[in-house]
Amino acid sequence: MVSKQSIRGDAMRIDIVTLFPQACSDFLSTSIVGRAQRDGLVDINCVNPRDWTDDKHQTVDDRPFGGGPGMVLKVEPLAKCIDSIRDTAPDAKLIMTSAQGEHFTQNHAQSWSEEAHLIIVCGHYEGIDERFVELYQPIEVSIGDVVLSGGEIAALLVSDAIVRLLPGALGHADSAKEDSFSGDEKLLDHPSYTQPREFRGLHVPEILLSGDHGAIAKWRKEQRLKRTQQRRPDLLE
């Protein structure tokens, strides 16, 4: 049998730059993402810009110039933190979570799953000093038209979507191809059922119990088309 590591070669690396590493660690060690790390498919580190401050109070934020509410993340600790990661990995792709970024989709996940190294920067409070964006020109990504208090959930979302696409991360090599927005067709997924065969008068569709793999594949394809037509006709355009 081919080992999981030999399918991919070196592990992918993801550095999540966050003031709140503890908000990420449980998630990263659980389920598919946790297993992918233990299997050597990916190495995810949380890096805290606070470690790159040089004042007594380890200041990472300050009041906005021009007044107004909230705090803004300072550019120096972030810049030093990114520079230090890039010292060992100059080609890492730099991503910044932002409500104002391009919407993250399965296409991003697919394309970034082929990168060797990603750095994902999490903002917090009012956001990040704009000079960070001017100097480092990160790809800004949003997880939707909604404002979060910090980028951690967005960074975990992006990491999760990427890691499950790494060869060997899911139990079955074809699982990801049949998911919503995936494969060549980019349809929504078909409905799924498991035991018991009957629950509160609702039965599993007979065809799924037939053992006829051709008929099951045809039914699933019809369901995928029907769902996509009903729920997301824009995907068929």
Measured from each CB, the residue nearest to ligand SAH is 123
Report the C-alpha gap between 177 and 179 in whole angstroms: 6
Least gap, CB of 75 to ligand SAH (angstroms): 13
Taking the complex as a whole, the smallest distance from the CB of residue 80 to ligand SAH amounts, in Å, to 19
DSSP codes of every residue in 103-132: EP-HHHHHHHTT-SEEEEE--BTT-B-HHH
Please, which residue, 18 or 228, has the CB nearer to ligand SAH?
Answer: 18
Smallest distance from ligand SAH to CB 134, Å: 15
Rule CB under 6 A: which residues touch ligand SAH?
A: 97-100, 122-124, 126-128, 142-144, 146-148, 150-151, 154
Q: Which is nearer to ligand SAH, 74 or 124 (CB)?
A: 124
Nearer to ligand SAH, 128 or 187 (CB): 128
Nearer to ligand SAH, 73 or 166 (CB): 73
Q: Cβ 58 to ligand SAH, closest distance in Å?
A: 20
Nearer to ligand SAH, 49 or 127 (CB): 127
Q: Which is nearer to ligand SAH, 60 or 187 (CB)?
A: 60
CB of residue 20 to ligand SAH, shortest distance in Å: 11
- Smallest gap from residue 19 Cβ to ligand SAH (A): 11
Burial category of 186 from C-beta neighbours within 10 Å (exposed 0-12, middle 13-18, buried 19 and up): middle
